[in-house]
Amino acid sequence: MRRFRFPWMLIKQIPALVVKGWNHPFKDARIILEQQGDLHYLSITASVQKWLVRSAIVTVGGLTLLLTLMVVVNVDLLISRMKLERSHEAVYRALLSSNEQDVAGESIDESQMLTLAQAIRDRDTSIRRFVDMSMVAVSKENETIKTQLQTAGLTEKIVRIIQDNSAKGGFTVNDDLKSNPLLRGKVAEDLETNRSLRDVLYALPSAMPIKSFEITSGFGIRKHPISGRAHFHSGIDLITDDPDERIYPVKSGVVMGAQEHPSYGNMVMVRHSNGIESVYGHLSKVLVKQGDTVGVDTVLGYIGNSGVSTGKHLHLEILIGGYPVNPQNVIRTAQYVQQIKTAR
């Protein structure tokens, strides 16, 4: 039996034949046609012959290239389809397995695949609707938080100071949001803005330094009680009728100073996270020293009348990046946020 052999030698000769045909030295030719005893002459010039041959070479070459490309694409599509079918089959078997069904040796027909695809589409639609509804709530919450911060007197500059001093380094879209196809673009920005704004709120002091108090002098421009001149009061003055005159930090932190001040008398300064500091002035006695780590239940000292003071009281300051802010508004805003968090 004679063995069939693919004509590889012929294929190898094709390039040479193409070159030969392309560069063939054509000559003018004449074709004689006879019809009912009459002779007709058809002349074909060398240039026409060259154009016809080269056109044929280009056409055949283009068709061959197109055919080859179609074969490659079809093979690739076939392979992709096989992979997709195996993937769908694996997903289908996994779903069945999650329902504790025995799927060993079970074949998956086209109707099952269509049912699975429809179920996935329905679930995807439900998830997207849930995401859209949630993002409306997130956007509203962002506006509410911004309004609260502005009401508390925290300008964009102060908010940026808190963000820049956070452990996360401020506003960044994390990799989890980037990699999630449902949480991209404006959705990712709104979520990251919400996280960043919440971090600002949670960084604020949320506890008053004394349990029972009355504010005798607020934050801002006032008439100095001793000099009588208008000046900026960088904190608030608190008094109490409670026999308990202990003073506590407005937030946990580290004592940066515990010493006598020319104006504030016995003074304690505590540094908190995110560039926030608090100052307690006119104490009768200081119970902490520089370098101590304190919590909201640590006693810093007792209310007094030391320094430049007209009576027994506590002077409280809160500074963010060195800028004084209204302690009452800041603490009230932080307490409001914590109440919402606890309620949830």
Quote the pLDDT of residue 171. 43
Residues 246 and 221 in one domain: yes
Whether residue 281 is found in the same domain as residue 331: yes
Examine the domain organization and report whether 199 and 222 are in the same domain. no
Do residues 225 and 306 both lie within one domain? yes
What letter represents residue 52's amino acid?
A: L
106 inside domain: no
Same domain, 131 and 188: yes
Domain end residue (candidates: 170, 203, 236): 203
- Does any domain span residue 133? yes
- Evaluated on CA atoms 121, 126, 130, 136, the torsion sign reads positive
Place 102 in a pLDDT band, splitting at 50, 70 and 90: very low
Q: How confident is the model at residue 247 (pLDDT cuts 50, 70, 90)?
A: very high
Please check whether residues 336 and 218 belong to one and the same domain: yes
Which residue among 182, 203, 224 closes a domain? 203
Task: Of 128-132, 162-166, 186-190, give the lowest mean pLDDT range.
Answer: 128-132
Count of structural domains within the chain: 3
Q: Is residue 4 in a domain?
A: no
pLDDT tens digits, one per residue of 58-101:
898 889 889 999 999 999 998 988 887 777 667 666 666 555 44
Given a contact cutoff of 8 angstroms between Cβ atoms, the answer to whether 246 and 302 are in contact is yes
20-24, 56-60, 79-83, 287-291: lowest mean pLDDT where? 20-24
Q: Residue 300: which of 257, 334, 331, 261 has the closest Cα?
A: 257
- What is the residue-averaged pLDDT of the chain? 80
Shared domain for 176 and 72, answered yes or no, is no
Same domain, 195 and 120: yes
State the amino acid at position 31 in one-letter form. Answer: I
Could you tell me if residue 61 is inside a domain? yes
242 and 328 in a single domain? The answer is yes
* pLDDT for residue 107: 56
Asked if residue 176 and residue 147 are part of one domain, the reply reads yes
Residue 340: closest CA among 207, 202, 208: 202
Domain stop point among 138, 168, 203:
203
How far lies 157's CA from each of 6, 79, 84, 236, 312, in Å?
A: 79, 57, 53, 22, 35
Bigger pLDDT: 131 or 235? 235
Query: Percent of the chain at pLDDT above 70?
Result: 75
Q: What is residue 72's predicted lDDT score, i.e. its pLDDT?
A: 92
Residue 219 belongs to domain spanning: 214-343
Query: Which pLDDT band holds residue 132 (cuts at 50, 70, 90)?
Result: low
Task: Classify residue 25 by its DSSP letter.
Answer: -
Kindly state whether residue 108 falls inside one of the protein's structural domains.
no
Q: Could you tell me if 316 and 280 are in contact, meaning their C-beta atoms sit under 8 angstroms apart?
A: yes
Q: Higher model confidence: residue 53 or residue 175?
A: 53
Please compute the mean of the pLDDT values over residues 142-156 and round it to a whole number.
86
For the cut 60, the answer to whether the pLDDT of residue 340 exceeds it is no
Lowest mean pLDDT among 86-90, 135-139, 272-276: 86-90
pLDDT value for 152: 84
Residue 337 lies in a domain: yes
Asked if the structure places residue 296 within a domain, the reply is yes
Smallest CA-to-CA distance from 176 within 168, 184, 186 is with: 184
Whether 43 and 148 map to the same domain: the answer is no
Is the model more confident about 118 or about 324? 324
Residue 313 maps to which CATH number?
A: 2.70.70.10
Mean pLDDT of all residues in 296-304: 95
> What's the rounded mean pLDDT across residues 145-150?
86
Q: Give pLDDT, residue 201.
A: 87
> Which of the pair, 331 or 132, is modelled with greater confidence?
331
Residue 109, domain member (yes or no): no
Are residues 232 and 162 part of one domain? no
Question: Coil, strand, or helix at residue 16?
Answer: helix
